[in-house]
């Protein structure tokens, strides 16, 4: 990759530097049930982003005094591995950015999870970025939503999202790292695709009202596609479980206990 | 939950006393080992190791650093282990706990005392030498993290590319001078002492029933390079020597897995 890219270089002949059109997503792979210890888990590869999500619970609340008698608490944790970025080795653990993202991610899940079904409990949602390339928070929340479904936690919808940004005067869907860093603005959004509710909205840079509306429509359109991938990942996992059970009936259940 | 732990412990001990294991392995067999190198592109070297269901991801980043005063020409090696709460219900977020510090230090000792990394071939500036950050992320803890982590670290080192340094004494990311030169490889084998018997590559349930653990690191040229005993159980001299023999035998397949 060239080191001295400029904003103007990111769009050439109506194409972006990785060959995508303005409203194209990067290739996305979603897998459900990738970790054994967790109640539910998922892995998402989104362009060069690589993200794991794991869900534990509902379980007893810790610390105890936080207990809510009417609903489950949600504890979201978003974190980036020290080797995840292209820049220097960073310190492991949360920083100001990741703490903020954890907070808004928690609010997303509080919206869709039927927390009133599990009073006096807590649901942990862990999201870890192993490799980052722009749009890690939307990739993480997309993964976490699959992990929650994989954990069997009832939800109103499978949430997912994408960011839209303005680069060299054009609105682009799903910004990568270069577009995010050099571009004028970046708007990550998370939706409940079934009713179009906006559950996460963060924005930096300047857009007109018209552009905000277009960004919303672009993102929601893309989310409907991402949601299909999420559903397929969950179906795929249960297909495997089904095969395993079928194998078990033939007395071939070694190693399961 | 305490009762489940007790039941599991009794169950595992009972099996071991009868010469059996939950997953019908014998006492000196590893679970299936899968190693994927270079799965992260943004760092300088990486590997995902799966030991049965245990998953450890290792990423390597190079940096420039002032060397330790007593070793002015040697690269600085730093091993960190992140016991992600994603990996196990008992793992909590926060600063590293004793288990993760122990794991990182055992892996560090194996690599350092085996003198794996050939510092003389690494680029440096006038006052700074290369620092190699080896970060171990535990993604799924289904037992025997030390072996999985040491395999991941060694596989990632074998996968590592050395970045170039520019005229201002800064690292140029994504521009490499070639693979990291290694003098030799080292891996660690861990044994859990359960009901007086030695069990290799214990699962998470088996380690709850363990009285003590012995980890032995060996190099691919036949030397013992690190050891760590953990837990209350004692080990006799004969037991230790037998375990070293077993480690050499078992390490052959481990070295092959990370080739």
**Which DSSP state fits A155?**
B
Interface test with A, best of B86, B131, B135 (most A CBs within 10 A): B86
Question: Chain A 112-151, CB below 8 Å of chain B: which residues?
Answer: 124, 126, 128, 130-133
- Look at A132 and B89 and tell me if their CB atoms are within 8 Å: no
What per-residue confidence (pLDDT) applies to A1?
45
Between vectors from CA B107 to CA B105 and to CA B110, what angle results, nearest 5°? Answer: 105
What per-residue confidence (pLDDT) applies to A257?
41
Residues of B in contact with A130 (CB under 8 A): 40, 57, 59, 137
Residue A27 burial (CB count, 10 A): 10
- B24 closest CB neighbour out of A54, A94, A255: A255
Q: What is the residue-level pLDDT of chain A in tens, covering all 257 positions? A: 445 678 888 888 889 989 999 999 999 999 999 999 999 999 999 999 999 999 998 999 988 899 999 999 999 999 999 999 988 888 888 888 899 999 999 999 999 999 999 999 999 999 999 999 999 999 999 999 999 999 999 999 999 999 999 998 899 999 999 999 888 889 999 999 988 899 999 988 888 889 999 999 999 999 999 999 999 999 999 898 888 888 766 555 454 44
- Look at B24 and A254 and tell me if their CB atoms are within 8 Å: yes
Q: Which residues, listed in sequence order, are joined to residue A154 by a DSSP beta bridge?
A: none
Q: How far apart are CA B46 and CA B52, in angstroms?
A: 19
Q: What is the residue-level pLDDT of chain B in tens, covering all 259 positions? A: 678 888 999 999 999 999 999 999 999 999 999 999 999 999 999 999 999 999 999 999 999 999 998 889 899 999 999 999 999 998 988 888 888 989 999 999 999 989 999 999 999 998 999 999 999 999 999 999 999 999 999 999 999 999 999 888 889 888 899 999 999 999 999 999 999 999 999 999 999 999 999 999 999 999 999 999 998 888 998 999 999 999 999 999 999 999 9
Q: How far apart are CA A186 and CA B240, in angstroms?
A: 59
Structure-token pair, residue A109: 């899940």
Nearest CA in chain A to B64: A88
Contact with chain A for residue B137, Cβ under 8 A: yes
Residues of A in contact with B43 (CB under 8 A): 83-84, 131
Domains of chain B: 2-258 (3.30.230.70)
Q: How far apart are CA A136 and CA A127, in angstroms?
A: 10
- Look at A52 and B86 and tell me if their CB atoms are within 8 Å: yes
Contact with chain B for residue A59, Cβ under 8 A: yes
Residues of B in contact with A82 (CB under 8 A): 59, 61, 80, 133, 135
Nearest CA in chain B to A43: B139
Contact with chain A for residue B31, Cβ under 8 A: no
Residue B105 burial (CB count, 10 A): 15
Contact with chain B for residue A4, Cβ under 8 A: no
- Whether the CB-CB separation of B20 and B197 falls below 8 Å is answered with no
- B141 closest CB neighbour out of A37, A52, A124: A37
Residue B175 burial (CB count, 10 A): 12
Give this complex's ipTM: 0.76
Which CATH number is correct for A17-238, 3.40.367.20, 3.40.50.1100, 3.30.230.70, 3.80.10.10? Answer: 3.30.230.70
- State how far residue A201 is from chain B, nearest Cα, in angstroms: 26
Residue ranges covered by each domain of chain A: 17-238
Contact with chain A for residue B61, Cβ under 8 A: yes
Residues of A in contact with B29 (CB under 8 A): none
By three-state DSSP, how is residue A127 classified?
strand
**Which DSSP state fits A204?**
B
- B41 closest CB neighbour out of A87, A131, A254: A131
- Look at B24 and A59 and tell me if their CB atoms are within 8 Å: no
- Look at B59 and A48 and tell me if their CB atoms are within 8 Å: no
- A83 closest CB neighbour out of B40, B93, B174: B40
A160-167: strand order across its sheet: A170-173, A160-167, A185-192, A197-201
For A116, list phi and psi in degrees, rounded to 5: -65, -15
Question: Chain A 70-89, CB below 8 Å of chain B: which residues?
Answer: 77, 79, 81-89
- Whether the CB-CB separation of B12 and B143 falls below 8 Å is answered with no
What per-residue confidence (pLDDT) applies to B70?
86
Q: At what angle do helices A96-112 and A136-150 cross, to 10 degrees?
A: 40
- State how far residue B160 is from chain A, nearest Cα, in angstroms: 13
Please report which helix (H) or strand (E) contains residue B230, including its range: strand B224-231
- Whether the CB-CB separation of B108 and B47 falls below 8 Å is answered with no
């Amino acid at each position: 990759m060239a080191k001295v890219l400029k904003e103007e270089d990111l769009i050439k002949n109506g194409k972006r530097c990785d060959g995508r059109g303005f409203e194209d997503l990067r290739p996305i792979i979603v897998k459900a049930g990738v970790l054994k210890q967790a109640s539910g888990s998922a892995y998402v590869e989104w362009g060069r982003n690589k993200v794991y999500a794991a869900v534990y619970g509902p379980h007893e609340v810790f610390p105890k005094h936080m207990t809510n008698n009417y609903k489950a608490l949600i504890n979201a944790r978003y974190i980036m591995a020290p080797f995840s970025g292209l820049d220097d080795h960073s310190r492991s653990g949360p920083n100001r950015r990741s703490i903020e993202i954890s907070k808004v991610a928690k609010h997303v899940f509080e919206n869709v999870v039927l927390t009133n079904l599990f009073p006096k409990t807590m649901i942990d949602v862990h999201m870890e970025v192993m490799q980052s390339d722009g749009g890690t928070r939307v990739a993480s929340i997309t993964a976490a939503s699959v992990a929650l479904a994989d954990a069997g936690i009832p939800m109103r919808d499978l949430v997912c999202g994408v960011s839209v940004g303005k680069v060299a005067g054009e609105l682009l869907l799903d910004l990568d790292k270069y577009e995010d860093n050099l571009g004028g603005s970046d708007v990550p959004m998370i939706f409940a695709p079934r009713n179009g509710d906006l559950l996460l909205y963060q924005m930096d840079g300047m857009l007109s009202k018209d552009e905000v509306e277009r960004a919303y429509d672009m993102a929601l359109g893309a989310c409907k596609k991402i949601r299909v991938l999420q559903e397929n990942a969950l179906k795929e996992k249960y297909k495997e479980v089904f095969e395993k059970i079928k194998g078990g009936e033939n007395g071939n259940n070694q190693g399961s206990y | 939950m305490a009762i489940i732990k007790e039941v599991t412990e009794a169950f595992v001990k009972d099996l071991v006393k009868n010469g059996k294991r939950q997953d019908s392995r014998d006492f000196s067999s590893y679970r299936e080992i899968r190693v994927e190198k270079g799965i992260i592109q943004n760092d300088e070297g990486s590997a995902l190791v799966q030991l049965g269901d245990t998953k450890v991801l290792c990423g390597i980043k190079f940096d420039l650093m002032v060397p330790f005063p007593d070793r002015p020409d040697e690269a600085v090696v730093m091993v960190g282990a992140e016991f992600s709460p994603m990996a196990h219900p008992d793992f909590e977020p926060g600063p590293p706990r004793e288990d993760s510090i122990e794991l990182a230090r055992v892996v560090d000792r194996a690599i350092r005392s085996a003198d794996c990394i050939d510092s003389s071939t690494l680029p440096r500036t006038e006052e700074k030498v290369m620092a190699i950050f080896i970060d171990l992320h535990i993604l799924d803890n289904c037992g025997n993290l030390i072996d999985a982590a040491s395999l991941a670290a060694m596989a990632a080192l074998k996968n590592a590319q050395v970045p170039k340094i520019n005229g201002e004494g800064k690292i140029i990311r994504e521009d490499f001078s070639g693979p990291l030169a290694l003098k030799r490889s080292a891996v660690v084998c861990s044994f859990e002492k359960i009901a007086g018997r030695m069990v290799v590559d214990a699962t998470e349930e088996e380690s709850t029933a363990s009285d003590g653990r012995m980890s032995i690191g060996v190099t691919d040229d036949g030397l013992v390079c690190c050891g760590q005993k953990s837990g209350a159980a004692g080990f006799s001299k004969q037991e230790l020597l037998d375990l070293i023999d077993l480690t050499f035998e078992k390490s052959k397949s481990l070295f092959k897995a990370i080739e």
